[in-house]
Amino acid sequence: MRALTLWNHDLDDACYRARLMASLAGVTLDLRSVDAFPGMEHRGPAMRVLTPMGRLPVLQDGDLVLTQVEPILLHLARTGAKGGAFLPSDGQVHARMEDWLAFHARDMGAASAAREAALFGGDPCVHAPAAREGLRVLEDHMAAQGLRGQGFVAGAAASVADVALFPAFALSRDWNLDHDGFPALRQWARRVRRLTGFVTMPGIPDYH
Amino acid sequence: MSAPAVPPGWTAVALARDIDAGTSAGVVLGGAEIVVWRDTGGRVHAWEDRCPHRGMKLSFGFVRGDRIACLYHGWEYDGTATCRYIPAHPDLAVPASIRVERYRAAEASGLIWVAAEGTGGAPPEVAGLVALRSLFVDAAAGDALARLAAEGFPGLGPVSGVEQGLFLRFTQGGTAFAVACHAVGPGACALHVLVAGAADAALIPATAAFRRAVEGAA
C-alpha cells in the first residue's frame, strides 16, 4: 500500500491526532520530522510553501496536500483498510460525528492553545477557561451518551470525532486541568485507549 | 503544613459505576486529595493520593491485580496500603513501614463513600433510586444545595417534598431526586444525582443548565 507523508512534530497534539488516526485506520505514514520547537521550522519559508498558515500537521497524498487536521483525519479514515469503521454509515450518526468535528475545530482549539502556552511559553490562563468549558460540554454529552448505552461521541462505535477530541482531554494535565471533575470523559478515554491500533504520545501514559 | 483531613462520617464522592474494576480516580474532598481505586476483583479503596516515595499522585498510577502502582517508579501497594514491591530493587524485602494513609471506603445507593479511619457503621442504602451523574460545579456546596432545594433543575417544573439530610431529596415534574454533595473546596462541589426509576439521558441538559445557573449567580 502507498505511504502518505505526514510533516510531524512529536509533541504537537494535532500531529498526534493524525498519527493516532493513521494507526487506527491502518495507514502507513512516511513521517517527516519538523523542528517546530524550538526551531519554529513550521513557520519558516520552506514549510510555508506547503502550509501557508504555518500549521502542523501537513498530510501529502500524491498531489493532494491537506493542512487542516479534521480533513486530514477524515482522509486517513477513508484511505486506511480499517478506517471505514470510523466513518459511520448511518446518516444521523455521521451527521453527529460532523457536528462534533466542527465543535472540535471551533471550540476545542483553546485546549491546544492552553497546552502550547504551558509547554512552550506563554500564559495558559488566557485559554484555559474556554478549554475547560469545552471539555465540560463534552462531559455533559458523554454522560448522556453513557445513559443511552452509547460509548462514543457520535454513537455506539468510535468515529473520527473521538480521535479528534480524545487528545484535548487526555493531555489536559499538561495545562494543569486534572481529570477529577470529568467522570464520563475518564470512562470514554479508557474506551478509546482500548481501540485496536491505539498509540500514545508523550503526556499520555502507555497503560490503561 | 499538614494536608486537610478526611472528615469523620460518610461522604459520597463518586458514582459506583464511574470507577471500573482495575482503575483509579482522583477525588478532592474539602481540599484533601484522595485516590479512589478498585482492584481487579472490584473492591474499592480510598487512600491519601500521594506516593510516599516522591509525592506523586497515586491516582495517576495503574492498577494491577490487587495492587496500585505509582506512575513514577512503579512502587506497588497492596490492599492494606503497604508497599510490597519496588521495581528498581526487585530483590529487596520492602520494609512494612512504607505505607499510604488509608481511609474507609464503602459502596451504597450506587455511590462510593469515604470516611476517616475509625468511622463506624455503613453509608445509607436508599431503595428505588439509580445514579444519573456526578455534576461538578464551581460553587460552594451550601449555595448549590440551597439553590437546588429552592428551584430544582431548570425546566423540570416546580419543586415539592424537599427533605434535607445526607441526601437532599425532592420531587420535580413527577420525578423523585436524591442528591448527595461533596465539597471539593470552598468554592467548588460535586453533586451526585440519583433519580427514581430509570436514569434518562434527557435529564442531563437540565443538570448542565443548573450548573450554568448556579455559577452565573456566584
Grid cell at residue A74: 477524515
What rounded mean pLDDT belongs to chain A? 95
Among A51-55, A144-148, A153-157, B42-46, where is mean pLDDT lowest?
A: A51-55
In this prediction, residue A60 carries a pLDDT of 97
**Can you state the percent helix, strand and coil of chain B, rounding each to 5?**
15, 40, 45
Q: Give the 3-state secondary structure of residue B5.
A: coil
Cβ atoms of residues B32 and B6 within 8 Å: yes
Tell which residue, A85, A54, A61, has the closest CA to residue A163. A85
Interface of A with B (CB under 8 A): 136-137, 140, 143-145, 147-148, 178-184, 186-187, 190, 205, 207-208
Domain membership of residue B143 as a residue range: 129-217
Residues B106 and B162 in one domain: no
Residues of chain A found within 8 Å of residue B59, distances taken between Cβ atoms: 180
**Measured distance CA(B17)–CA(B25) in Å, rounded:** 12
Residues B97 and B184 in one domain: no
Mean pLDDT, residues A37-43 taken together: 90
Of A148, A183, A208, the CB nearest to B134: A183
Structural domain contains residue B122: no
Instruction: Find all residues with CB under 8 Å of B169, minimum gap 6, and list them.
Output: B161, B162, B163, B176, B177, B178, B179
- CATH number, domain of B16, equals 2.102.10.10
Total structural domains within chain B: 2
Residue A56 confidence class, pLDDT cut points 50, 70, 90: very high
- Answer with the one of B90, B115, B140 that is the final residue of a domain: B115
Q: What is the pLDDT of residues B169-189, one digit of tens each?
A: 999 999 999 999 999 999 999
Q: What is the pLDDT of residues A61-76, one digit of tens each?
A: 999 999 999 999 999 9
Residues B78 and B140 in one domain: no
CA B76 from chain centre, in angstroms, equals 23
Residue A77 has pLDDT above 90, yes or no: yes
Structural domain contains residue B29: yes
What rounded mean pLDDT belongs to chain B? 94
Tell which residue, A153, A194, A187, A169, has the closest CA to residue B14. A187
What number of H helices and E strands is found in chain B? 2, 15
Grid cell at residue A105: 475545530
Residues B110 and B187 in one domain: no
Q: Which residue of A has its CA nearest to B136?
A: A181
Phi, psi of B30 (to 5 degrees): 55, 35
Residue B212 confidence class, pLDDT cut points 50, 70, 90: very high
Residue A9 has pLDDT above 90, yes or no: yes
- Answer with the one of B115, B144, B165 that is the final residue of a domain: B115
- Answer with the one of B115, B144, B169 that is the final residue of a domain: B115
For each of the domains in chain A, give its residue range(s) and CATH number, in order of start: 4-84 (3.40.30.10), 88-193 (1.20.1050.10)
Q: What is the pLDDT of residues A79-109, one digit of tens each?
A: 999 999 999 999 999 999 999 999 999 999 9
Of B190, B200, B208, the CB nearest to A140: B208
B91-to-B54, B95, B99 alpha-carbon distances in Å: 21, 12, 19
Residue B2 has pLDDT above 80, yes or no: no
Of B14, B28, B199, the CB nearest to A183: B14
Residue A1 has pLDDT above 70, yes or no: no
Residue A156 has pLDDT above 90, yes or no: yes
Helix (H) or strand (E) segment spanning residue A187:
helix A183-193
Residues B15 and B111 in one domain: yes
B21-to-A185, B39, B44 alpha-carbon distances in Å: 17, 6, 8
- CATH number, domain of B150, equals 3.30.530.20
Residue A184 confidence class, pLDDT cut points 50, 70, 90: very high
Cβ atoms of residues B26 and B57 within 8 Å: yes
Structural domain contains residue B2: no
Q: What distance in Å separates residue A121's CA from the closest CA in chain B?
A: 24
Q: What distance in Å separates residue A144's CA from the closest CA in chain B?
A: 5
**Measured distance CA(B46)–CA(B149) in Å, rounded:** 30
Structural domain contains residue B28: yes
Asked if A144 and B134 come within 8 Å (Cβ–Cβ), the reply is no
In this prediction, residue B53 carries a pLDDT of 87
With a pLDDT cut of 90, the percent of chain B lying above it is 81
Mean pLDDT, residues B138-165 taken together: 97
Residues B134 and B81 in one domain: no
Residues of chain B found within 8 Å of residue A179, distances taken between Cβ atoms: 25-26
**Measured distance CA(B77)–CA(B62) in Å, rounded:** 11
Structural domain contains residue B80: yes
Residue B87 preceded by cis peptide, ω within 30: no
- Interface predicted TM-score of the whole assembly (ipTM), two decimals: 0.93
Residues of chain A found within 8 Å of residue B207, distances taken between Cβ atoms: 140
Asked if B26 and A183 come within 8 Å (Cβ–Cβ), the reply is no
Structural domain contains residue B81: yes
Residues B31 and B101 in one domain: yes
Structural domain contains residue B156: yes
User: Read out DSSP for B90-105?
Assistant: TT----TT-B--EEEE
Of B14, B23, B204, the CB nearest to A140: B204
CA A161 from chain centre, in angstroms, equals 8
In this prediction, residue A205 carries a pLDDT of 82
Residue A207 confidence class, pLDDT cut points 50, 70, 90: low
Residues B154 and B94 in one domain: no
Cβ atoms of residues A66 and A14 within 8 Å: no
